[in-house]
């Protein structure tokens, strides 16, 4: 299937069936390439609809400690950008789930924006979520993604003014990612009380699906987000299954499978 249609088809199909989309995040090549591939397969087998792969980076500003350490483990294992592309190519041998890179613009710009986008498409990537690239500076990436058929996903935060929501929504494609809490990634014990209002304010400016992430870690939290959004993103809670079981590949996979199943199973038919 063409990369440009996988994300749209996923959200359309899930909506038609009265279901939200479950997005699972892990850092590519954490703790190593072979285990990472098994992790991707496990996530998909346990109901992850869209795979969000963190591209290992030495200065991940939007990430909390859990995901910072995941990136560090990947880099220490010898992971290079080409390994991340290769990981996607291996996943494409057994799955057509949409794959989005969670990345930083340094990694794109340093390889040539157009070249990076084309390589991503060739590998089977469906979209790029570039954490530190504001719309005003994203012209080259937006053009390259449009030409190659990749989604260009932007983040909206609780601190984003309404006037700026309109600006971000006007250039976003694929879906809009709403950060449910201020700060960095990481498991949280509660969710923001104004989540429904915030999501509604985004919908005033776009027909794109709205997914909510950052801090979601329990089935109960998944259900709360499920009620108001088109998609739920879980990351740190999955990455912790890796960090808590380092050195035991089988335990990593079994722990991750159990956790993922409990979270994806929390989605209900609307």
Q: What is the Rg, in whole angstroms, of the alpha carbon atoms belonging to the chain?
A: 17
Mean pLDDT of the chain: 93
Give 189's DSSP letter.
S
Q: What is the pLDDT of residue 62?
A: 73
Residue 2, pLDDT above cutoff 80: no
| 201 Cβ contact list (under 8 Å, min separation 6) | 162, 165
Least confident of 101-110, 186-195, 233-242, 245-254: 186-195
Place of tokens 């776009």: 206
pLDDT, tens digit (0-9, with 9 covering 90-100), for 211-221: 999 889 999 99
Farthest-apart Cα atoms in the chain, separation: 49
Catalytic residue among 30, 32, 45, 52, which?
Answer: 52
> With bands split at pLDDT 50, 70 and 90, how would you rate the model's confidence at 192?
low
Residue 106, pLDDT above cutoff 50: yes
Residue 187, pLDDT above cutoff 50: no
pLDDT, tens digit (0-9, with 9 covering 90-100), for 50-88: 999 999 999 888 788 899 999 999 999 999 999 999 999
Residue 186, pLDDT above cutoff 50: no
Angstrom distance (rounded) from CA 108 to CA 78: 19
Q: Residue 253 in contact with residue 31, Cβ under 8 Å?
A: no
> What pTM value is reported for the model?
0.94
* Average pLDDT estimate for 2-31: 92
The domains of the chain, with CATH numbers, are: 3-264 (3.20.20.70)
Which pair of structure tokens corresponds to residue 2? 């063409």
Angle, alpha carbons 49-133-75 (nearest 5°):
65
Residue 93, pLDDT above cutoff 80: yes
Catalytic residue among 63, 90, 187, 230, which?
Answer: 63
> Which of 270, 264, 268 shows the shortest CA–CA distance to 219?
264
Angle, alpha carbons 226-232-235 (nearest 5°):
145
> With bands split at pLDDT 50, 70 and 90, how would you rate the model's confidence at 1?
very low
Q: Is 63 a catalytic residue?
A: yes
Q: Which residues of 98-120 are buried (b: 16+ CB within 10 A; e: fewer)?
A: bbbbbbbbebbeeeebbebbebb
Q: What is the pLDDT of residue 183?
A: 47
Q: Is 82 a catalytic residue?
A: no
Place of tokens 């108001």: 228
> Which of 92, 30, 39, 37 shows the shortest CA–CA distance to 63?
30
């Amino acid at each position: 299937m063409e990369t440009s249609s996988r994300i749209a088809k996923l959200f359309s199909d899930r909506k038609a069936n009265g279901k939200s989309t479950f997005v699972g995040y892990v850092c590519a090549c954490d703790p190593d390439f072979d285990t990472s591939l098994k992790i991707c397969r496990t996530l998909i087998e346990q109901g992850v609809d869209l795979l969000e792969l963190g591209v290992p980076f030495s200065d991940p500003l939007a990430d909390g400690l859990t995901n910072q350490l995941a990136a560090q483990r990947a880099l220490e294992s010898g992971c290079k950008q080409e390994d991340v592309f290769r990981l996607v190519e291996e996943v494409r041998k057994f799955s057509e789930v949409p794959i989005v890179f969670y990345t930083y613009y340094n990694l794109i710009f340093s390889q040539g924006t157009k070249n990076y986008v084309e390589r991503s498409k060739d590998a089977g990537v469906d979209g790029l979520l570039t954490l530190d690239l504001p719309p005003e500076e994203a012209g080259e990436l937006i053009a390259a993604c449009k030409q190659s058929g990749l989604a260009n996903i932007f983040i909206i935060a609780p601190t984003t003014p309404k006037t700026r929501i309109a600006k971000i929504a006007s250039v976003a494609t694929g879906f809009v990612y709403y950060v449910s809490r201020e700060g960095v990634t990481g498991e949280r014990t509660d969710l923001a009380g104004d989540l429904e209002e915030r999501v509604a304010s985004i919908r005033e400016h776009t027909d794109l699906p709205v997914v909510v992430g950052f801090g979601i870690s329990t089935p109960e939290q998944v259900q709360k987000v499920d009620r108001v959004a088109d998609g739920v993103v879980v990351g740190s809670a999955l990455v912790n299954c890796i960090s808590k079981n380092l050195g035991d590949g089988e335990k990593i996979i079994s722990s991750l499978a159990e956790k993922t199943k409990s979270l994806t199973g929390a989605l209900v038919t609307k």
